[in-house]
Amino acid sequence: MLERSGFPSLLAALRQHGYRVVGPTIRDGAIVYGDIREESDLPIGWTDRQDAGKYRLERRADRALFGYAVGPHSWKKYLFPAHERLWTAVRTDASFAVRPEPVEGPPLAFLGVRACEMAAIDISDRVFGKAGDPAYSAHRRGSLRVAVQCGQAGGTCFCASMGTGPGVRKGFDLALTEILSPGRHYFLVEVGSREGAAVLSGLPLAPASQTDTAAAEAVVARTAASMGRSMDAGGLRDLLVNNPEHPRWEIVARRCLSCTNCTMACPTCFCNTSEEVPDLSGERTERWRRWDSCFNSGFSALHGASVRSSTKSRYRQWLAHKLGTWHDQFGTSGCVGCGRCITWCPVGIDITEEVAALRLPAPPPAEKKP
Amino acid sequence: MTPPHKPRLGVFKFASCDGCQLTLLDCEDELLAVAGAVEIAEFHEATSAGVDGPYDVALVEGSVTTADDARRIREIRAQTRTLVTIGACATAGGIQALRNFADVEEFRRVVYARPEFIQTLGTSTPIRDHVPVDFELRGCPIDKHQLLEVISAFLGRRSPNVPTESVCIECKRRGNVCVLVAHGTPCLGPVTQTGCGAICPAFHRGCYGCFGPQDTPNAASLVGKLEELGMARPAVARVFRTFNALAPPFREAADAAAKEAVAP
Ligand code: SF4
Ligand code: SF4
Ligand code: SF4
């Protein structure tokens, strides 16, 4: 148990243990992830109201530190940066030399990782681990996950449907439950690793009573009961894989902008493109990696033409991979139910609504008039 | 490996503000490297000495607004191996293409003291309406890095790496908060081609569509959203008729909105 007044000592301890603390902060009308130097960097007393294609910040009636759901950023911006130099090649007398990009700086402490985001990082660990990606593992190595149990579900959240939340059950280094009861504001702190325990040594902690643990469990139960969205996740793989000609794809393609926002905001979308950036002298070239998306025509371009030229085929590719073939490839769904793709889609296309529509049998083809 | 001859780069100006040519001048250091590798001919912003063709690569800025323009671009095409248009004027008629939706005769009478000296066509049209174009570099103005990429690509006889995807992808890579979703600000980013680095959303403004349509634009769907955000039809027509009014997807969106706006 950590009283609210003791919270700054947690931040100080993280720094003392050599971590760079990153977490939620307010910028440009949203809660994004950035460096947290002091507790006033956190969105104290703010919450978010989210719906399909809509996000607004609002004041809370209390001074909660973590009283909101997830925003447009995800932790992938640290583990798999949007734009990253992987190596540099320099011409030498007879040949050329390749210099891998060093990853410098202190290990990261992710402050305020939600259950869905824990699941998303676990998925990314598998995806990038399978690919043996040195850049990802360099960023991930030594990082610390300070999870937060969600005290409030967002309007587009459906982690309960996907079995990824709202409670954080494993994999964390530390897990906090923020409890606001009349007259008392405190955190229940769970320890999940040796590294987490090390950070706690020396903090003003008190043992938790049974009432405290019950209060913490009630927080998570309340959140689970107030999910903004739900999705029937049963048999999804087969549904997606077996319905490439469902008329719903045509309908959603009329709305879809092929703008990539859903894939950029999704914490598990990992598609990327590499490019060589030579200088004009030709003496030096750099290999850069950038986030790419299956919604771009260039992404499926082979021999100069796109394999998926229609928006319909791109949306179908995205959903069929995310909810379908991801299972075959990585052993789980690619969706953790965070709701970002719903909120940050400019025209509010809703993955839960699309899945529900795909479950309806396709209407029989209209009979031709004699 | 020395090329048999220094490739010749021609730079030509039609109706425009010169902003795109200035982008080339703004390349300063890089331009010196370019100048070392190529012979630059007909670059009126940099030197007054013009040289006749042939050209390996011609950069053409500006749109066709006079009969003389139309003749000149055909001559340039005949002398050029790879013709590249640069900027919104050359690729989509530019701001001056707004004349296509208005009465040019009236402008001539109202604006000029001696209207009889003004020789002009009733329209401002992109270069491709007059001659075949090998590559169109978008933007109002164009982006310096893309310009250097295009020059070095064509001089090196490879295809340039200029993405045709939406502004949104760059906006998200940059970590911007979406102004459309979080502020309700109308934004053309989803239908516009990337290249600017998503500057406007980074400064809390919606995208103005300077780089023209992305490769798979769905303007009709975005228009629905703009209207939901409270934009009236005439305003919708206006935002699609700013820098790239003649780019077909923008033109169709504007025409549809303009038509519905006058219909009862
Ligand atoms: S698909 Fe949508 S809801 Fe699922 S993890 Fe990605 S962004 Fe979140
Ligand atoms: S689903 Fe939405 S966010 Fe994704 S590409 Fe389509 S319009 Fe953009
Ligand atoms: S601000 Fe505009 S460009 Fe950026 S993601 Fe939103 S809609 Fe796209």
Q: Count CA within 13 A, CB hemisphere, residue A132.
A: 0
Q: Which residues pair with A84 in a beta bridge?
A: A289
Q: Is there a contact between A258 and B166 if contact means CB atoms under 8 Å apart?
A: yes
Question: What ligand has the least distance to the C-alpha of B199?
Answer: 3
Shared-domain flag, residues A306 and A181: no
Is residue B35 over pLDDT 70? no
HEC-encoded secondary structure of chain B = CCCCCCCEEEEEECECCCHHHHHHHCCHHHHHHHHHHCEEECCCCCCCCCCCCCEEEEEEECEECCHHHHHHHHHHHHCEEEEEEEHHHHHHCCHHHHHHHCCHHHHHHHHCCCHHHCCCCCCCECHHHCCCCCEEECCCCCCHHHHHHHHHHHHCCCCCCCCCCEHHHHHHHCCCCCHHHHHCCCCCHHHEECCCCCHHHHCCCCCCCCCCECCCCCHHHHHHHHHHCCCCHHHHHHHHCCCCCCCHHHHHHHHHHHHHHHCC
- Read off the pLDDT band of B206 (50, 70, 90): very high
Residue with the nearest Cα to atom 6 of ligand 2? A256
Cβ contacts of B190 on chain A, cutoff 8 Å: 257, 259, 261, 346
Query: pLDDT tens across B158-195, in order?
Result: 888 899 999 999 999 999 999 999 999 999 999 999 99
Q: Which residues of A touch B34 (CB under 8 A)?
A: 280
Give pLDDT, residue B104: 66
Q: Is residue A251 located within the same domain as residue A134?
A: no
Is residue A154 located within the same domain as residue A15? yes
Q: Which two tokens stand for residue A269?
A: 């979308």
With a cut of 90, say whether residue B25 has pLDDT above it: no
**ipTM of the prediction:** 0.93
Q: Which residues of B touch A307 (CB under 8 A)?
A: none
Question: In this structure, are A149 and A84 located in the same domain?
Answer: yes
Contact B180 A346 (CB under 8 A): yes
> For chain B, what is the mean pLDDT?
84
- Would an 8 Å CB–CB cutoff place A254 in contact with chain B? yes
Cβ of B168 within 8 Å of Cβ of A261? The answer is: yes
**pLDDT tens track for A168-227:** 999 999 999 999 998 899 999 999 999 999 999 989 999 999 999 999 999 999 999 999
d(CA A311, CA A253): 6
Q: Tell me which residue in A73, A296, A311 faces B218 most closely, judged by beta carbons.
A: A311
CA-A266 nearest atom, ligand 1: 7
The closest CB to that of A258, out of B34, B172, B216, belongs to B216
Parallel, antiparallel, or unpaired for β A20-27 and A108-113? Answer: parallel
Q: Which residues contact A171 (CB under 8 A, 6 or more apart)?
A: A118, A122, A145, A192
Q: A367 in a domain, yes or no? A: no
Is A107 inside a domain boundary? yes
Tell whether the model's pLDDT for residue B68 goes beyond 80. Answer: yes
B146 lies within 8 A of chain A by CB: no
Residue that has been written with the tokens 């009889």 in this structure: B116
Return the CATH class of domain B8-155.
alpha beta
Q: What is the length of chain A? A: 370
CB contact under 8 A, A261 and B178: yes
Task: Enumerate the residues of chain A whose CB falls inside 8 A of the CB of residue B178.
Answer: 55, 72, 261, 344, 346
- Do A151 and A24 reside in the same domain of the chain? yes
Token output for B38:
């190529």
B263 — pLDDT class (breaks 50, 70, 90): low
B110: phi then psi, degrees, rounded to nearest 5: -80, -40
Q: How many CB pairs under 8 A join A and B?
A: 117
Report the residue of chain A nearest B228, measured CA to CA.
Answer: A347
Do residues A129 and A86 lie in contact, with contact meaning Cβ atoms separated by under 8 Å? no
Considering the domain architecture, whether residues A54 and A198 belong to the same structural domain is answered as: yes
Q: Which H, E and C letters describe chain A, residue by residue?
A: CEEHHHHHHHHHHHHHCCCEEEEEEEECCEEEEEECCCHHHCCCCEEEEEECCEEEEEECCCCCCCCCCCCCCCCHHHHCCCEEEEEEEEECCCCEEEEECCCCCCCEEEEEECHHHHHHHHHHHHHHHHHCCHHHHHHHCCCEEEEECCCCCCCCCCHHHHCCCCCCCCCCCEEEEEEEECCEEEEEEEECCHHHHHHHCCCCECCCCHHHHHHHHHHHHHHHCCCCCCCCCCCHHHHHHCCCCCCHHHHHHHHCCCCCHHHHHCCCCCCEEEEEEECCCCCEEEEEEEECCCCCHHHHEECCEECCCCHHHHHHHHHHHHHHHHHHHHCCCCCCCCCHHHHCCCCCCCHHHHHHHHHCCCCCCCCCCC
Our CA-based measurement puts residue B216 at a distance from the nearest CA of chain A, in whole angstroms, of 7
Which of B68, B66, B76 lies closest to B96 in space, CA to CA?
B66
- Tell me the β-bridge partners of A146: A111, A174
| A29, A55, A264: residue with CB nearest B172 | A264
Structure token pair of residue A250: 């045509």
Residues A296, A182 share a domain: no
Encode B49-73: b = buried (16+ Cβ within 10 Å), e = exposed: eeeebebbbbbbbbbbbeeebbebb
A259 CA: nearest ligand 3 atom: 8
Q: Indicate the pLDDT class of residue B1, thresholds 50, 70 and 90.
A: very low
A27 contacts B165? CB cut-off 8 A: no
| A26/B contact by beta carbon, under 8 A | no
A286 and A181 within one domain: no
B176 touches chain A (CB under 8 A): yes
Domain termination residue (choose one: A204, A224, A244) = A224
Residues 6+ apart with CB under 8 A from B241: B98, B101, B250, B251, B254
Q: Which residues contact B256 (CB under 8 A, 6 or more apart)?
A: B220, B223
Query: What is the domain range of residue A277?
Result: 236-359
- What residue of B is the nearest CA neighbor of A292? B169
What is the per-residue pLDDT for B39? 78
Contact with chain A for residue B204, Cβ under 8 A: yes
pLDDT tens digits, one per residue of A353-366 = 999 999 998 666 65
* Distance of residue A175 Cα from the nearest chain B Cα, in angstroms: 27
Which ligand 2 atom minimizes the distance to the CA of A341?
Answer: 3
Say yes or no: A191 and A243 in one domain. no
Cα A292 → chain centroid: 16
Q: Structure tokens of A331?
A: 């052993």
| Beta-carbon separation of A346 and B163 below 8 A | no
Cα(A52) to ligand 2 centroid in Å equals: 11
Cβ pair B181:A264 closer than 8 A: no
Distance (Å, rounded) from C-alpha A318 to C-alpha A326? 10
Ligand closest to Cα of B218 equals: 2
A52 touches chain B (CB under 8 A): no
User: Nearest ligand to the C-alpha of residue A316?
Assistant: 2
Looking at the complex, does the CB of residue B174 fall below 8 Å from at least one CB of chain A? Answer: yes
In a domain, A231, yes or no: no
Asked if the model's pLDDT at residue B31 lies above 80, the reply is no
Q: Does the Cβ of A261 fall within 6 Å of ligand 2?
A: yes
pLDDT at B45 over 60: no
pLDDT of the residue at B159: 84
> Which residue has a Cα nearest atom 5 of ligand 3?
B168
Does A153 lie in the same domain as A302?
Answer: no
The answer to whether residue A201 is domain-embedded is: yes
- Cα of B262 vs its chain's centroid, Å: 29
Q: Does A229 reside within a domain?
A: no
Ligand 1 atom with the smallest distance to the CA of A156 is 3
CB A50 within 8 A of CB A95: no
Find the CB nearest B177 among A72, A311, A347: A72
Which whole number is the average pLDDT over B238-262?
86
| Residue A50 touches chain B, beta carbons under 8 Å | no
Do A210 and A249 share a domain, yes or no? no
Residue nearest atom 5 in ligand 1 by C-alpha distance: A335
- Interval B82-122: pLDDT, tens: 999 999 888 887 777 776 677 767 766 766 667 676 667 76
Q: Which residues of chain A have pLDDT under 50?
A: none
Nearest ligand atom owner, CA of A340: 1
- Dist CA B185 CA B182 (whole Å): 8
A261 and B172 within 8 Å at the Cβ level: the answer is: yes
In B, minimum Cα distance to A83 occurs at: B173
- Same domain (yes/no): A209, A279: no
Q: Closest ligand to A348 CA?
A: 2
**Number of domains present in the structure of chain A:** 2
Res B49 pLDDT > 50 = no
Query: Would you list the domain boundaries of chain B?
Result: 8-155, 167-262
Tokens of B179: 């102004």
